[in-house]
């Protein structure tokens, strides 16, 4: 049986998603709990591997379990998959979330087809980034907002962000992984000011490279401060290499907002498309 897990978590107590020896991670905590519950080694596949301190509102993962285990979640009578899913959800949240003060929430557990792949079946990921640039707007109760000591010109940031939309090699804004492509398609990048003292960025792409959103935001924050002109983004893309002037924005302001999937009958086709390693045509402009 393949199960889809919809998750949310606060980034602060975790050293990111990916399991790391001796460190508290979202994957590590969940897999340990699932191993105890299912009584067999558990392995999760996730839609997006978040960095240390990064939050998630709409994270998605999948897990394969024996059918016998799934049926054993019934209490001696025929029950629907929805009830079994809710029973597993409650057990998993209680065990994995122990001692985390509400930092981890299991929103839903449901049966999906074997064609579903949390990573490769995804059509897009959307991230939100929040920045407070006015001390009067600071809220110590909000743990998902980065801070800057300089007022930001969000209109300049919005102009600059549009150069990032489309298909590009995002190596200038990524920590590349060996053997992996850094070509991505960024569908939209919208920067607004929803409240006085708060700048919000909503970024949607088919997928993101390691730390890509934080590097892009780091560059845009520098532009918003007036250190560089909006055209700097295009210059960085054209250079095609990492530039030490681009800072890594604080992970605290970043939240994985949503992961979108096609209809169930297109899971396998989308996964097949996503596994194709992309390159830009030779001599194409970034």
Helices and strands, number each (H, E), in the chain = 7, 10
Q: Which residues are annotated as a binding site for substrate?
A: 127
The mean pLDDT value for 58-66 works out to: 97
**Is residue 254 classed as helix, strand or coil in its secondary structure?**
strand
**How many whole angstroms separate alpha carbon 252 and alpha carbon 109?**
27
Tell me the percentage of the chain whose pLDDT exceeds 70: 97
Torsional class of 197: left (φ above 0), alpha (ψ -120 to 50), beta (otherwise)? left
pLDDT the model gives residue 282: 59
Those residues with Cβ within 8 angstroms of residue 155's Cβ, 6 or more apart along the chain or in another chain: none
- For 152-204, write each residue's pLDDT tens digit: 999 999 999 999 999 999 999 998 888 788 999 999 999 999 999 999 999 99
Q: Which helix (H) or strand (E) holds 157?
A: helix 154-161
Those residues with Cβ within 8 angstroms of residue 266's Cβ, 6 or more apart along the chain or in another chain: none
**How many whole angstroms separate alpha carbon 230 and alpha carbon 274?**
32
| Tokens coding 268 | 């396998």
DSSP 73: T
Among 8, 7, 28, 6, smallest CA distance to 17 is for: 28
Whether 27 contacts 17, CB under 8 Å: yes
Task: For the chain, report the end-to-end CA distance as a whole number of angstroms.
Answer: 43
Q: Which residues are annotated as a binding site?
A: 127
**How many whole angstroms separate alpha carbon 125 and alpha carbon 189?**
12
- Whether 276 has a pLDDT exceeding 70, the answer reads yes
- For 190-242, write each residue's pLDDT tens digit: 999 999 999 999 999 999 999 999 999 999 999 999 999 999 999 999 999 99
Length of the chain: 286
**How many whole angstroms separate alpha carbon 215 and alpha carbon 212?**
5
**How many whole angstroms separate alpha carbon 30 and alpha carbon 198?**
33
- Whether 285 has a pLDDT exceeding 50, the answer reads no
pLDDT the model gives residue 286: 44
Q: Which helix (H) or strand (E) holds 94?
A: helix 81-96
pLDDT the model gives residue 278: 74
Tell me the percentage of the chain whose pLDDT exceeds 90: 90
pTM of the predicted model over 0.95 = no
DSSP 68: H
- For 94-126, write each residue's pLDDT tens digit: 999 999 999 999 999 999 999 999 999 999 999
The mean pLDDT value for 243-255 works out to: 95
Using alpha carbons, list the distances in angstroms from residue 219 to 86, 87, 95, 259: 43, 45, 40, 25
Catalytic site positions: 51
């Amino acid at each position: 049986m393949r199960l889809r897990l919809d998750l949310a978590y606060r980034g602060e107590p975790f050293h990111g998603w990916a399991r790391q020896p001796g460190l508290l991670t979202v994957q590590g905590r969940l897999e340990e709990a699932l191993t105890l519950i299912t009584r067999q080694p558990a392995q999760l596949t996730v839609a997006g591997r978040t960095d240390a301190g990064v939050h998630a509102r709409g994270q998605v993962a999948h897990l394969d379990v024996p059918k016998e285990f799934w049926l054993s979640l019934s209490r001696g009578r025929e029950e629907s998959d929805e009830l079994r899913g809710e029973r597993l959800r409650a057990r998993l949240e209680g065990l994995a979330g122990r001692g985390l003060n509400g930092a981890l929430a299991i929103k839903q557990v449901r049966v999906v087809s074997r064609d579903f792949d949390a990573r490769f079946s995804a059509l897009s990921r959307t991230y939100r980034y929040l920045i407070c640039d006015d001390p009067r707007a600071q809220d110590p109760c909000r743990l998902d907002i980065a801070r800057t000591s300089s007022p930001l010109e969000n209109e300049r940031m919005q102009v600059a962000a549009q150069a990032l939309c489309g298909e590009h090699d995002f190596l200038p804004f990524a920590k590349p992984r060996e053997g992996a492509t850094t070509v991505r398609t960024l569908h939209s990048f919208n920067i607004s000011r929803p409240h006085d003292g708060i700048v919000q960025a909503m970024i949607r792409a088919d997928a993101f490279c390691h730390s890509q959103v934080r590097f892009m935001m780091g560059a845009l924050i520098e532009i918003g401060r007036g250190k560089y002109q909006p055209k700097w983004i295009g210059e960085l893309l054209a250079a095609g290499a990492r530039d030490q002037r681009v800072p890594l924005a604080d992970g605290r302001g970043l939240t994985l907002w949503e992961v979108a999937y096609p209809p169930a009958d297109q899971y396998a086709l989308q996964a097949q498309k996503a596994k194709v390693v992309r390159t830009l045509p030779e001599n194409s402009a970034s």
